[in-house]
Structure 1
């Protein structure tokens, strides 16, 4: 998982936390925390924890549970450790495809918007299942199709227009690449999960302004690293930011930026 880890480097983690978390990730973190409460877990493992938005939601929703939050990227975990100081949370750098934990040690494994980046999704599922006790749950979120996530789709279409000869494809190859429920179920079944429930949840992506929403996508995601490649030119990132800001104003109203987004919430039981 080194390639995607490198993309979340430099100033990306801080911008991700400042702009992307409230824009896209905090709303679904609350959904995952609500689902987790229903399972009454005593010991939780979070994979691909990033800057800790789900960790924080879990710690507040389940203050008596032990939470081990992991990520491959230490820079992201450093940000998370600065924002989540609950006594029931432990941060540990770990690869979700090779977890450093004993079999059957957790009641719940949680992952928000990380599974689609796993180079071997079945292996990630196998590891989640291995560390779960019998009857434990694997709870994760992945994005629905990009067409149902209007800000991200707008950014993707802007990139196609600005760089028609070599359009950056990170959006479709990365965050929105794993949106087919049948594919998700097949991969879970291949890892031994037979009891799977998938719910598609539509929420609103909100920000104080279209400009701030665009800043999050352009400067707080791996898009920044991709657009800083020499092949796109020295002003690629700034040009993209200006165009996405302009186009995103269609979703701006008196209360700020507001656009639809959609994700799949998956629960698999061991």
Structure 2
């Protein structure tokens, strides 16, 4: 996936509309896994807008966190909105890290590995910059059927585009859920011990439309829809919003609130 699809308005919409319901609930899960080894020097790759970064920094207040992303726009947004004294922001490609060997005790990546064109190469780079005994922690989405918001969005897209539905969600963020494949890639990258835990959280929002707007226009999905018919973007947002309201309504938290189960794998490689 090209970093060019995470530019312009995407970082803002991704962070404001989509991240609170989808990425924030997993941030403490990722942070706990990273903090388990009490590392003092941590590298985060594909940090996006920094939602997991601040959780890791809070879990390790005396540690140094270097947060990186290949997209300058995502990194600029993160640096302007996520502040902590122990975070340093740097542009970097996870497949070609600009750090010396054995620089970190932990490398973290929340929901970024699915976008790496060459995952064994990225894992080999993580291994190179890890000190002996270091750990790589990955959080990776399960299949689209196990993500309430992505599943319902996929149903809407199949209805609106019956001959050629955009399959971004199925193929990219939710296209790397085979744990045997993940383990093979990690071993190809030089890791010899891999642990996998399946985690489910509830992603909540007080606005079904916010989540729908973020899902459709705050991710590269919007570019895939626009390639077919840009005029349909508002209709897709409307119908996804309706689908969320119909199935995921959370009236105790507000008249337009929604809540959906989200499942991911937390992978630790030694």
Q: Could you tell me the TM-score, scaled by structure 2's length? A: 0.96
Deviations 1:76-100 (A, max 9, x none): 0111101222221111100000001
Alignment of 1:113-132 (within 5 A): 113-132=111-130
Residue 236 (structure 1) aligned to one of 232, 253, 270: 232
Contact preservation (8 Å) 1:209, 1:252: no
Mark the runs of 5 or more structure 1 residues left unpaired by the alignment: none
In structure 2, C-alpha distance between the alignment counterparts of 1:4 and 1:113, rounded to whole Å = 15
In structure 2, C-alpha distance between the alignment counterparts of 1:246 and 1:219, rounded to whole Å = 16
Alignment of 1:241-260 (within 5 A): 241-249=237-245, 250-254=247-251, 255=253, 256-260=257-261
Pick which of 170-179 and 218-227 moved more: 218-227
Runs of 4+ in 1 over 6 A off after TM superposition: none
Shift of 1:137: 0.4
Pick which of 192-201 and 247-256 moved more: 247-256
> Could you say what secondary structure the match of 2:173 adopts?
coil
> Could you say what secondary structure the match of 2:264 adopts?
strand
RMSD of aligned residue pairs (Cα, Å):
1.0
> Could you say what secondary structure the match of 1:39 adopts?
coil
- 1:143 counterpart residue number: 141
In structure 1, C-alpha distance between the alignment counterparts of 2:95 and 2:133, rounded to whole Å = 21
Deviations 1:136-174 (A, max 9, x none): 000010000111112101101211110112211111111
- 2:185 counterpart residue number: 187
> Could you say what secondary structure the match of 2:8 adopts?
coil
Q: Could you tell me the TM-score, scaled by structure 1's length? A: 0.96
Q: How many corresponding residue pairs?
A: 265
- 2:267 counterpart residue number: 266
Pick which of 155-164 and 123-132 moved more: 155-164
Mark the runs of 5 or more structure 2 residues left unpaired by the alignment: none
In structure 1, C-alpha distance between the alignment counterparts of 2:83 and 2:212, rounded to whole Å = 30
In structure 1, C-alpha distance between the alignment counterparts of 2:225 and 2:200, rounded to whole Å = 29
> Could you say what secondary structure the match of 2:127 adopts?
helix
